[in-house]
A and B are shown apart, each in its own frame.
Chain A
């Protein structure tokens, strides 16, 4: 993981020196293994919940491939089981998934030189985990890596889709992932990914402020709102930390002129 001031503008130029791409992708896969276990475990539970809510395999597959959002999918099957109408479910989905705007904006400088159709396809699999894994990977190598992005997405999305169908069609003798401690994977991984993106004091300030804002706002309104507000306000705190002088090394040992 690169070390540096964290104060330099993002450099997405393809000619920037990079570490060994193969080693970086290996690190990406290893980092994603925890997500594979977590997604597999909770997708089994989702599949069971979908079956209890009356979803067919085709409907469950459609939810997993079209929506591709765990929290909103869990909420949807819960609301369906309670008899809530489609408008309410769609509205809640838009609300729960609004945080993806932040991911999309934050990752867009890395993808700016990619063809629009490719960016449009990549956007569909831009989940919490895909964002965290791929941005950490890009920072590690100092540039965009298309195959790396798809590897990150596959590590998260494929277990989710397959596990959901297995849970739906399974016997119900599936252990609760919480008993195995898998419910801690998501917060631990998000915290670890945040640490992985820290390469200077300003990154630390952004992360600490994001968390510090998200919790009280989440408590007062809802956790989803807390995440969005924390993600918007946190970066502002970074600018309160004085920038170090230019010429200091940033990620990959590259010196900013």
Chain B
């Protein structure tokens, strides 16, 4: 059984781990000024919304070209957002989005 690519995995891990660990291991994080802590607090909503938006609106083909994709993902994610905001229940929002997409594809609308 081949293990050659374990080396590649180690290299990929070696360039990934620092981005996960460096800020966490930086000394004095608890002594940051309030404005810096407030900034870090806002990173969460901003980066998660950015992830959601790019994964909903953009699509990249095999050649690496990115384009705006209009489709069932838009109303599905909007439905999830509304349900989570209304019921404060993430699972409910996800299930509703999945059902909407699956139904739309089943009937040929997406």
**In the complex, what's the smallest C-beta–C-beta distance from B68 to chain A, in angstroms?**
7
Given B16, B43, B46, B66, which contacts A69 in the complex, CB threshold below 8 Å? B16
Cβ–Cβ contact B47 & A227, under 8 A: yes
Given B5, B56, B105, which contacts A191 in the complex, CB threshold below 8 Å? B56
Cβ–Cβ contact B29 & A108, under 8 A: yes
**In the complex, what's the smallest C-beta–C-beta distance from A122 to chain B, in angstroms?**
7
How does the 8 Å CB contact mask read for B50-92 relative to A, with 1 for contact and 0 for none?
1111111110100000111000110011001101110011110
Cβ–Cβ contact A193 & B8, under 8 A: no
Closest to A111 in B: B24
Cβ–Cβ contact B3 & A76, under 8 A: no
Cβ–Cβ contact A90 & B42, under 8 A: no
Cβ–Cβ contact A105 & B49, under 8 A: no
- Please measure, in the bound complex, the distance between the C-alpha atom of A101 and the C-alpha atom of B47, giving whole angstroms: 11
Q: For window 86-100 of chain B, which residues contact chain A by CB distance below 8 Å?
A: 88-91, 93-95, 97-100
Q: For window 1-44 of chain A, which residues contact chain B by CB distance below 8 Å?
A: 1, 6-7, 9-10, 12, 30-31, 33-34
Closest to A12 in B: B30
Cβ–Cβ contact A104 & B16, under 8 A: no
Cβ–Cβ contact A106 & B47, under 8 A: yes
DSSP majority for the A interface? helix
Is A123 located at the chain interface by the 8 A CB criterion?
yes
Q: A90-B8, A214-B53 are in contact. Are A57 and B1 (CB under 8 A)?
A: yes
Q: A104-B21, A181-B98 are in contact. Are A112 and B49 (CB under 8 A)?
A: no
Size category, A interface: 35 or more
- Please measure, in the bound complex, the distance between the C-alpha atom of A29 and the C-alpha atom of B96, giving whole angstroms: 18
The count of residues in chain B whose C-beta lies closer than 8 Å to any C-beta of chain A is 77
Cβ–Cβ contact B91 & A190, under 8 A: no
List of B residues within 8 angstroms of A163 by Cβ: none
Is A102 located at the chain interface by the 8 A CB criterion?
yes
Q: A10-B40, A191-B81, A192-B94 are in contact. Are A219 and B67 (CB under 8 A)?
A: yes
List of B residues within 8 angstroms of A72 by Cβ: 12, 16
Cβ–Cβ contact A93 & B12, under 8 A: yes
Cβ–Cβ contact B9 & A97, under 8 A: no
Cβ–Cβ contact A203 & B45, under 8 A: yes
Given B26, B41, B54, which contacts A215 in the complex, CB threshold below 8 Å? B54
Is A156 located at the chain interface by the 8 A CB criterion?
no
Closest to A117 in B: B25
- Please measure, in the bound complex, the distance between the C-alpha atom of A80 and the C-alpha atom of B8, giving whole angstroms: 10
20 A-B contact pairs sorted by A residue (CB < 8 Å) = A34-B90, A62-B5, A66-B13, A93-B16, A99-B47, A108-B23, A108-B40, A183-B101, A184-B73, A184-B76, A188-B52, A190-B55, A194-B49, A195-B81, A214-B53, A223-B66, A227-B51, A230-B54, A232-B43, A237-B46
